[in-house]
Amino acid sequence: AQKITQTQPGMFVQEKEAVTLDCTYDTSDPSYGLFWYKQPSSGEMIFLIYQGSYDQQNATEGRYSLNFQKARKSANLVISASQLGDSAMYFCAMSPTGANSKLTFGKGITLSVRP
Amino acid sequence: KAGVTQTPRYLIKTRGQQVTLSCSPISGHRSVSWYQQTPGQGLQFLFEYFSETQRNKGNFPGRFSGRQFSNSRSEMNVSTLELGDSALYLCASSLGPEAETQYFGPGTRLLVL
């Protein structure tokens, strides 16, 4: 079984500053994928970034980077230079390798960007 | 390229009724997954279809079922609706089960009265 834990309360960040959203996970699968999704108030889930458990380097996608610490079982999302449009719910998720369509999600974190 | 579309976007039903939700994946995508999102339980995986076959199923009762057609479009059906089935139902498509990126649709918001 896989489990994702996101325990931060609502997060606030000043526009143009960086913010880190925490995610810890637990799994018995030897190989897995880690994902971050953004959900604005409209409801649609937007894919942000993916990290494979055997990837040596941390994933980056534009302003998003994933700080992957395998020994600590953490996969924190770092958003650099926050923008007002980044205000949303952020979900960490994982899946067994080969079954990336079967995601286990965390409870999510609300991020609010202040002007 | 058109994104994932879901119909209807909003639905109101009463207890005991059944409902069918539809999902059209991005052109060329053959894998479709369904998720239920509620305030209490969060996002939960329902099932996944690939090439008209159910590959994975989440921990939901048999009242929840789905299917996929040869054009990769998918439907999910909920029979004998309960109040607790009120949720946002999200569909996601990808090229295949191992694709890193799933693209989600806007969801169908179901309210059961």
Q: How high is the mean pLDDT in each 10-residue block of chain B (113 residues)?
A: 92 97 96 95 94 93 97 97 97 87 93 98
Chain A residues within 8 A of B100 when measuring between CB atoms: 33, 50, 52, 100
List the single best residue of A102, A109, A110 to mutate versus B (max B Cβ within 10 A).
Answer: A102
d(CA A20, CA A55): 21
DSSP structure class, residue B15: T
A109 → chain B, closest CA residue: B42
In the three-class reduction of DSSP (H, G, I as helix; E, B as strand; rest coil), residue B84 is classed as helix
Q: What is the mean pLDDT of chain A?
A: 94
Which amino acid type is present at position B68? Q
B3 → chain A, closest CA residue: A44
A52 → chain B, closest CA residue: B100
pLDDT over 80 (residue A99): no
How many angstroms away from the CA of A63 is the closest CA of chain B? Answer: 18
At residue B99, the pLDDT reads 81
* Vertex B26 angle, CA A55 and A51, to 5°: 10
List the single best residue of A2, A5, A42, A45 to mutate versus B (max B Cβ within 10 A).
Answer: A45
- Reading the block at residue A87, the tokens are 């205000």
Among A112, A95, A34, A42, which residue's Cα sits nearest to residue B3? Answer: A42
At residue A97, the pLDDT reads 79
Among B30, B27, B106, B104, which residue's Cα sits nearest to residue B69? Answer: B30
Query: Tokens 């325990």 identify what position?
Result: A7
- Reading the block at residue A42, the tokens are 């409209």
d(CA A81, CA A79): 7
d(CA A41, CA B52): 32
Q: Are A89 and A110 in contact (CB under 8 A)?
A: yes
At residue B1, the pLDDT reads 67
* CB–CB contacts below 8 A, A to B: 71
Contact A102 B33 (CB under 8 A): yes
Q: Which candidate from B33, B88, B107 shows the least CB-CB separation from A101?
A: B33
At residue A96, the pLDDT reads 86
Query: Tokens 């999200």 identify what position?
Result: B90
**pLDDT tens-place string over residues A36-75:** 999 999 888 999 999 999 988 999 999 999 999 999 999 9
In the three-class reduction of DSSP (H, G, I as helix; E, B as strand; rest coil), residue A84 is classed as helix
d(CA A24, CA A94): 10
Pick the residue with more confidence: A36 or A101? Answer: A36
Half-sphere exposure of B32 (CA within 13 A, CB side): 32
d(CA A27, CA B46): 19
